[in-house]
Amino acid sequence: MILHGFFGPTLAPKNLATVLTWIHFRGALVLVLLCAGNFFCLACPFLLLRNAARKLFKPRFSWPRALRNKWISVGLFAGILFCYELFDLWSSPYWTAALALGYFAAVLIVDGLFKHAAFCKFVCPIGQFNFVASTLSPLEVKVRDSRVCEKCATKDCIKGRRAEAEKKSEFVILQRGCELALYLPRKVGNMDCTFCLDCVHACPHDNIGVVGRMPASELMADPLRSGVGYFSRRKDIAALVIVFAFGALVNAFGMVRPVYAVEAWLGRMISTTHEAPVLGIIFAAFLIFAPLVLLGSAARMSRALSGGRSSVGTVAVRYSYTLVPLGLGMWLAHYGFHFFTGILTVVPVTQAALASTGVPILGGPFWTWTGMPTRFVQPIELGFLLLGFMGSLMVAHQFAQEDCAENPLRSFAPWFVVCAIVGAASVWLMFQPMEMRAMLMGG
């Protein structure tokens, strides 16, 4: 795929790098997260390379304490969304392949220097996307019987198993424990879990499995989570959720007609024909200004109405998690659209790629193979948005019940308004005429 990106056709619809990355990978990722769990992290190609490299050299450092949070990955997540728009990554096989290559390099550098899964836990923006979305997944890696853990002496699920090496001071790792620092008996939900199943293999009592659960249940409670802490105290994870939810809106906004009018207007206002500052303003409006206003006002109001004593910031952080279902609904609607309408395009592109290497074993290429017609996909998109909206209302209502048991509607009402605004914005965006073009400043 990377080779085709660099050396194949420059036209994005004919190149495996762009077709697989922007149509199939993204679409399948969100659908698998919705229907199963974080299986894309399990099958992550970047980790294959890292694991192979670790046979040759051992990382020496521990990830700096000050960086043991999500702030770097929040910045990278927003940065990738920004670059996607600025450089029209979807239309460039070369830059798509370069991005994938850059990712491999980043994994090798970070995990080559730092022990455990520092890249997955603290850096990888795709991983963070998966962690947030998988809070809604129906599967999780979990201890089967907590009584077995109480009697367990080895705790291999977190420590792993080692054997002494020839040099007495060193160890050989026989089986890794959880490199994401999730201690299974106290692990709650899917946050930070890459589904690597190291813990499953490590547990000597076969006491860990992939089990079913109610989607979003982990968002509705706020226990102490191993390796994560309390959601309600993690401003960095709340920021990640905000980028996840509002990023879904800005990512879709970049593909619909009104964005060009807004860009042209902003360009005139600040007298520039450069796209970067204009996009910067749009991103700041979506990822900083809108969340601050919406969540800030809702937190203030729900606090006043319910008579709660927590600070506005604390309320805002806690309730920010209600946006996860709405965010996933929007990502599903957007990526699902491209996935379903373009699902067959991989066939002719693969046929052509094979033919260009002199092995046309698949015949063709059948360029007319694309996917489902838009009119069939739109109801599915609407279904995803509705599902997200209902999920967010459920989470917000649960929080409101905990905050104000005698009259939960008082706490709930402002958050209902926030969900309704974000939900309405999503539906409006989905039904805007699409324009798949690069930004033309001044045009």
Q: Which residues bind ligand SF4 (CB under 6 A)?
A: 141, 143, 148-149, 152, 155-157, 178, 180, 182, 184-185, 187, 193-199, 203, 205, 207-208
* In contact, 17 and 5? CB cutoff 8 Å: yes
* In contact, 387 and 349? CB cutoff 8 Å: no
Q: What does 185 interact with, of ligand SF4, other proteins, none (CB < 5 to 8 A by kind)?
A: ligand SF4
Q: How far is the CB of 37 from ligand SF4 (least distance, A)?
A: 10
- Using CB under 8 A, pick the residue from 4, 5, 8, 23 that binds other proteins: 23
Nearer to other proteins, 18 or 426 (CB): 18
Nearer to ligand SF4, 112 or 185 (CB): 185
Q: What does 22 interact with, of other proteins, ligand SF4, none (CB < 5 to 8 A by kind)?
A: other proteins
Q: What does 91 interact with, of ligand SF4, other proteins, none (CB < 5 to 8 A by kind)?
A: other proteins
169 binds other proteins (CB under 8 A): no
Stretch that binds other proteins, among 7-15, 108-116, 172-180, 210-218 (CB under 8 A): 7-15
Q: What does 342 interact with, of other proteins, ligand SF4, none (CB < 5 to 8 A by kind)?
A: other proteins
The 68-107 contact track toward other proteins, x by CB under 8 A, reads --------------------x-xx----------------
Which residues, in sequence order, are CB contacts of 252 under 8 Å at separation 6+? 330, 333, 334, 426, 429, 430
DSSP-assigned states of every residue in 223-254: --BTTTB-GGG-HHHHHHHHHHHHHHHHHHHT
Which residues, in sequence order, are CB contacts of 351 under 8 Å at separation 6+? 360, 362, 363, 364, 365, 366
CA distance 178 to 22: 31
DSSP-assigned states of every residue in 55-121: TT----BPPPGGG-SSHHHHHHHHHHHHHHHHTTGGG-HHHHHHHHHHHHHHHHHHHHHBSTTHIII
Nearer to ligand SF4, 69 or 207 (CB): 207
Is 164 buried (19+), middle (13-18) or exposed (0-12) by CB count in 10 A? exposed
Which residues, in sequence order, are CB contacts of 28 under 8 Å at separation 6+? 40, 339
Q: How far is the CB of 159 from ligand SF4 (least distance, A)?
A: 8
CA distance 106 to 175: 25
Write out the H or E segment, with its range, that includes residue 184.
none
- For residue 140, give the 3-state DSSP assignment: strand
Joined tokens for residue 159: 């420590």
CA distance 348 to 216: 39
Stretch that binds other proteins, among 41-49, 56-64, 203-211, 334-342 (CB under 8 A): 334-342
Q: What does 252 interact with, of ligand SF4, other proteins, none (CB < 5 to 8 A by kind)?
A: none
* In contact, 57 and 115? CB cutoff 8 Å: no
* In contact, 329 and 385? CB cutoff 8 Å: yes
434 binds other proteins (CB under 8 A): yes
CA distance 417 to 412: 9
Length of the chain measured in residues: 443
352-381 positions binding other proteins, by CB under 8 A = 367-368, 370-371
- Using CB under 8 A, pick the residue from 2, 6, 13, 413 that binds other proteins: 13
Q: How far is the CB of 202 from ligand SF4 (least distance, A)?
A: 6
End-to-end Cα distance, the chain: 34
Q: What does 182 interact with, of ligand SF4, other proteins, none (CB < 5 to 8 A by kind)?
A: ligand SF4
Q: How far is the CB of 370 from other proteins (least distance, A)?
A: 5
Nearer to ligand SF4, 223 or 313 (CB): 223
Q: What does 49 interact with, of other proteins, ligand SF4, none (CB < 5 to 8 A by kind)?
A: none
261 binds other proteins (CB under 8 A): no
- Bridge partners (DSSP) of residue 142 are 209
334 binds other proteins (CB under 8 A): no
- Using CB under 8 A, pick the residue from 116, 338, 397, 410 that binds other proteins: 338
Alpha helices (H) in 140-206, listed in sequence order: 146-151, 156-159, 198-202
- For residue 139, give the 3-state DSSP assignment: strand
25 binds other proteins (CB under 8 A): no
Q: What does 142 interact with, of other proteins, ligand SF4, none (CB < 5 to 8 A by kind)?
A: none
The 229-258 contact track toward other proteins, x by CB under 8 A, reads ----------------------------x-
Nearer to ligand SF4, 27 or 177 (CB): 177
Binding site for other proteins (CB under 8 A): 11-15, 18-19, 22-23, 88, 90-91, 257, 338, 341-342, 345, 367-368, 370-371, 433-438, 440, 443
